[in-house]
Amino acid sequence: MTLTATSFDWVRQLVHKESAIVLQPGKEYLVEARLLPMAQQRGLTGVSELVESVRNRPDAATTRRIVEALTTNETSWFRDGDPFTALTGTVLPSLVAGRRPEERLNIWSAACSSGQEPYTIAMLVSDALPDAARRVSITATDLSREMVERTRAGRFSQLEVNRGLPASMLVRHFTRAGNEWEISPTLRRMVTTTECNLAAPLPRMGPFDVVYLRNVLIYFDMATKQGILRRVRQLMRPDGWLFLGAAETTLGVDDNWERVVLGRGSAYRPRKGN
């Protein structure tokens, strides 16, 4: 056990602040087990060294990974269903009606993690549009090279496909590959992957009709949030749609967005005249 009491306490407070989840004393083994791979990946000897390095040099990306590692085992498919219901219920029909048939629809999954979000989008649009493979292009980006590679591979463990993927979609869009499940080649071809740091100048991409930027802003300070929202807006079509995480908003951060209520959730659209 290399985890010091101070490190454990710091992690507890962080996780509580960001997720409202309480790590009881005695859960040191859990922190150790979940964070050790991340420490080793960074060439550190233990979890306490990882915590020390983040405390000395605050780093939103690493902080986010720490919280994620402790709060979820696997990313869910259709995570917080509302932004996906809105995609097929409102956003896609309005985009299809407003664009010429030969115009491509560009969707950006801006923090794609291990790929559940971009492939959820791919499944939905391929069920909703007969010519989805030709018509829709999905760009999946993440800060982490490992996550980008996982998304590109499109392979998921048994535990991952159990997380909120409807069984009917599993059998339609995946095939077994050893003890993993592999997304169908048609859907994988719709998704282009690349590394991207949202807190820095963005690569040439887009313009996007829809952007999923969920559970990213919460980890950054106000100035960085504003910078991210500004750069994302520059890559969006004027009539595009932005989806944020359930606990996130542009209100009070960046006035250049208009909030639109869609079903039980909401989306944000670039405000006209900016």
Partner 1 sequence: MRALVIDDSRAMRRIVGSILEDFGYEVRPAGDGREALDVLEEGYLPDLACVDWNMPVMDGLQFVSAVRSNPAYRSVALMMVTTESETSQIVRALAAGAHEYMIKPFTADAMRDKLALLGLLPQEVSL
Partner 2 sequence: MSDLLSSPAQQPITEMLDAATVQSIADDVWTSLVGDGEVLVPLPVPAPEVTVSAWVQITGRWCGAVVVTCDEATAVALTECLLRARPPAVIEQEDVDDALGELANVLGGNVKSLLPELSSLGLPQTGPIPPASRPEDLCRVDAQWRGQSLTITVQGATPAPHTERNEVPQ
Single out the residue of 239, 173, 184, 246 nearest to residue 212, CA to CA: 246
- CA dist 24 and 94 (Å) reads 48
3-state secondary structure of 224: helix
When binding is defined by CB under 8 A, the residue of 2, 6, 13, 175 that contacts partner 1 is 175
- Closest distance to partner 1 from the beta carbon of 164 (Å): 3
Q: How far is CA 52 from CA 14, 34, 171, 219, 227, in A?
A: 13, 16, 45, 18, 28
147 to 166: interface string for partner 2, x by CB under 8 A: ----------xxx-------
Residue 29 touching partner 2 (CB under 8 A): yes
In whole angstroms, how close is the CB of 43 to partner 1 at the nearest point? 30
Residue 24 makes contact with partner 2 by CB under 8 A: no
- The residue assigned the tokens 């496909």 is 161
Is 157 near partner 1 (CB under 8 A)? no
CB 240 within 8 A of CB 213: no
Both tokens of 178, joined, read 């050893």
Q: Binding of partner 1 at residue 168 (CB under 8 A)?
A: yes
User: Using CB under 8 A as the criterion, what x/- string covers residues 10-29 for binding partner 1?
Assistant: -----------x--------
Size of the site for partner 1 (CB under 8 A): 22
Minimum Å distance from CB 162 to partner 2?
Answer: 9
- Count of Cβ atoms closer than 10 Å to residue 59 Cβ: 13
Residues that bind partner 2 (CB under 8 A): 29-30, 32-34, 73, 157-159, 176, 178-179
